[in-house]
Amino acid sequence: MDPVLPALEVQALFDVLADTVFFIKDREGRYTHCNHTLMRRLGRKRRDDVIGRSATEVFPPPLGATYHSQDRRVLRGETISDQLEVHLYPNRRPGWCLTLKRPLLVHGRISGLIGVSRDLGRPDSRHAAYGQLEKVMAHMQAHLDRNLRIPALAELAGVSVAQLERQFRHVFQVTPQQHLIKLRIELAMRLLHGEDSIASIGQQCGFSDQSAFARQFKATVGMTPREYRNLKSCL
DNA sequence: CACACAAGGTACTCTGGGAT
DNA sequence: ATCCCAGAGTACCTTGTGTG
């Protein structure tokens, strides 16, 4: 029989990873385990301030509701892997993470969920393809407001689409599409501090319309552009 | 009523993982 | 490294909702 690692041991292991959030939740979406990184980012001093609570109780309203509905999907059996997300830290500084959440199965039945969220690290500048990819990055940055296509970016780098994706993952830990979304959402978050209408910001960031912008923004940041604007005006 | 924004439906395109 | 296909994502359009 395979050895079973008790959840408390796993939690202790994840306590030493400062750039990774770790948690286990029960069938109702309440935290049963969490590591120090999650506690710190929630601005809590003690683990007991988190354990037994759901996302809606420990995150600000729009974020908590989004995470809670994500939890419900996972508790129905869905797995969320490598989802690019923005996390707002206690000082409201945004940080980019890749999140994995999956159902926790005990004797074949879903008894909760387990998740990790790791910070996006620095790009690997020693990778052989880094120079070529920098050209792609510069092009993305300069033409964020245009309809950028992955095949065109691959052509720019002089590689196939599949090669571009593989190399991009190696160097930046995300796909070209995810990187493009990251640049666009970062720009949108900056513009939302100004007075431009949400539709106009979506356009400036290269989204085809306000609908596509709001959908992508919510999927990435966890709240709609308007909620984000209201949140930062409360700070 | 006009406007701004959110959300849903559908057709089409793109992505990513498995097979080779 | 390359190919292929299922599923995810996107564009476009429509409808719903809240506010002044």
- Selection from A115, A103, A119, A123 nearest residue A41 by Cα: A119
Strand C proximal to A181 Cβ, under 7 A: yes
* Full pLDDT tens readout for chain A, 235 residues: 445 668 888 889 899 888 888 999 999 889 999 999 999 888 899 999 999 998 888 887 667 777 777 787 788 777 776 777 777 666 656 777 778 788 888 887 888 888 888 887 777 666 666 777 777 777 777 777 766 667 667 777 777 666 777 777 777 777 777 777 778 888 877 777 776 777 777 777 777 666 677 777 777 777 777 777 766 544 4
Compute the distance between CA of residue A216 and CA of residue A64 in angstroms, rounded to an integer. Answer: 18
Nucleotides of B under 7 A from a protein CB: 4-9, 14-17
Which residues, at least 6 apart from A160, have a Cβ–Cβ distance to it below 8 Å? A154
Tokens read off for A179: 């990187």
The closest nt to A228, taking CA to C1', is: B5
Task: Classify burial at A189, counting beta carbons within 10 Å of its beta carbon; exposed 0-12, middle 13-18, buried 19 or more.
Answer: buried
pLDDT at A50: 94
List, in order of start, the domains of chain A with CATH numbers.
Answer: 7-119 (3.30.450.20), 130-234 (1.10.10.60)
pLDDT at A1: 41
Nucleotides of C under 7 A from a protein CB: 1-4, 9-14
Strand B proximal to A177 Cβ, under 7 A: yes
Report the distance from CA of residue A18 to the C1' of nucleotide B9 in Å, as an integer.
43
Compute the distance between CA of residue A100 and CA of residue A199 in angstroms, rounded to an integer. Answer: 31
Compute the distance between CA of residue A34 and CA of residue A14 in angstroms, rounded to an integer. Answer: 9
Phi, psi of A135 (to 5 degrees): -65, -45
pLDDT at A53: 93
Strand B proximal to A163 Cβ, under 7 A: no
Compute the distance between CA of residue A50 and CA of residue A118 in angstroms, rounded to an integer. Answer: 19
Tokens read off for A94: 């945004």
CB A206 within 8 A of CB A184: yes
Whose tokens are 């004797």? That residue is A107
Strand B proximal to A56 Cβ, under 7 A: no
pLDDT at A30: 93
Report the distance from CA of residue A228 to the C1' of nucleotide C18 in Å, as an integer.
18
pLDDT at A234: 44
Whose tokens are 């993952």? That residue is A169
- Selection from A143, A139, A97 nearest residue A117 by Cα: A97
pLDDT at A24: 93
Tokens read off for A110: 């879903």
Compute the distance between CA of residue A62 and CA of residue A231 in angstroms, rounded to an integer. Answer: 9
Compute the distance between CA of residue A120 and CA of residue A27 in angstroms, rounded to an integer. Answer: 29
Compute the distance between CA of residue A105 and CA of residue A89 in angstroms, rounded to an integer. Answer: 31
pLDDT at A127: 67
